[in-house]
Amino acid sequence: MRLFFAVLLTEEAREAVRRAQQALRASAGEKGIKWVTPEQFHYTLKFLGETPEERMLLAIEAARLTATQSAPFSFTLAGVGAFPQPRRPQVLWIGATEGVPLLAGLAESLDRNLAERGFAAETRRFSPHLTLARVKSPEGQEAIAKALSAQVAELNSVDKFGVIPVESFVVMRSELRPGGPIYTVLETFALTRSGNGETRQ
C-alpha cells in the first residue's frame, strides 16, 4: 500500500483554502495544471510510499508512540507560494506561519520513531505546505506564474486561511487512479501528552 501521514484541515479552513484555489484556478485555467480536490487538502508529516502490510504495522506502532509523546497545538495557514520558485512553478502550495515549530516537532518525532523501526529517515528539512495544484506543462507554468503574481498580495494577507487546532494526525492510503489519487484514512492518532509532559488518559 502507498502510505503517508498527515494533518487534516477543519471544514472552515478547507473552505477558505478552496476559495483561494478557485480564484487562482479562474485566472490560470485548467490546461497543463492538475488541481487538487478540496477533499484531499492536507499537510503531510511523512510520506512512506509503497509499504508492505507487515511494515505498515510497524509504521502504525511508531505513529501511536508519537501520539503519546505529543501534546495538542495549533498552527496558522498563511502564505501562497510555489516549488521550486514562483516564476517556474511545479507545485503550488499554501504554507504555515504561527505554530510551525510545533508542527515540525511532530513531524520530526514521527520520523525519529519510524527510523528506529527501519524506515528511511528524512534528509530534507521539514517544510509545511498544503498542495493546491501540480503543474504538468510549460503552458501551465506560465499560467500559474501569472495568476500568482497578480494575486500574491491578497493571497498572502495575514491569517487569511485560519488556524488549525491539531489534536490528532492520520495515516492515509493513496490509491493512484487515472482520474487522480484516492485517499483513505486508515487510522487516526490522538495527541495525548498534556502540557506538563504526562500522557492523558
- Please confirm whether the linkage preceding 128 is cis (ω < 30° from 0): no
* CA 98/CA 115 separation, integer angstroms: 28
**Band of the pLDDT at 2, cuts 50, 70, 90?**
very high
Cell digits of residue 191 = 495527541
Q: For 135-176, write each residue's pLDDT tens digit.
A: 999 999 999 999 988 887 677 765 568 899 999 999 999 998
- How wide is the angle at C-alpha 141 spanned by C-alphas 140 and 144, nearest 5°? 85
* Whether residue 72 lies in the annotated active site: no
Domains of the chain, start order: 2-190 (3.90.1140.10)
Q: Element (H or E) spanning 33, and its range?
A: strand 33-35
What letter does residue 38 receive in the DSSP assignment? G
State mean pLDDT over 13-18: 93
More confident call, 197 vs 127:
127
Cell digits of residue 7 = 494533518
**Band of the pLDDT at 178, cuts 50, 70, 90?**
confident
Cell digits of residue 141 = 507554468
Backbone φ, ψ for residue 43 (5° rounding): -110, 115
Residue 100 pLDDT greater than 80, yes or no = yes
For residue 151, the model assigns a pLDDT of 81
Arithmetic mean of pLDDT over the chain: 92
* CA 44/CA 19 separation, integer angstroms: 21
H helices, E strands: number in the chain? 4, 9
**Band of the pLDDT at 198, cuts 50, 70, 90?**
low
Within its chain, how far is the Cα of 162 from the centroid? 15
Backbone φ, ψ for residue 30 (5° rounding): -115, -25
* Whether residue 42 lies in the annotated active site: yes
Residue 131 pLDDT greater than 60, yes or no = yes
Percent of the chain whose predicted confidence (pLDDT) is above 70: 94
For residue 159, the model assigns a pLDDT of 57
State mean pLDDT over 172-190: 92
Q: For 64-77, write each residue's pLDDT tens digit.
A: 999 999 999 999 99
Residue 20 pLDDT greater than 80, yes or no = yes
Catalytic residue among 14, 25, 46, 129: 129
In SS3 terms, 63-119 reads as HHHHHHCCCCEEEEEEEEEEECCCCCCCEEEEEECCCHHHHHHHHHHHHHHHHCCCC
What SS3 state is found at 37? coil
State mean pLDDT over 83-99: 92
What letter does residue 152 receive in the DSSP assignment? H
Cell digits of residue 2 = 502507498
**Band of the pLDDT at 200, cuts 50, 70, 90?**
low
* CA 62/CA 54 separation, integer angstroms: 13
Catalytic residue among 14, 25, 42, 46: 42
Residue 118 pLDDT greater than 80, yes or no = yes
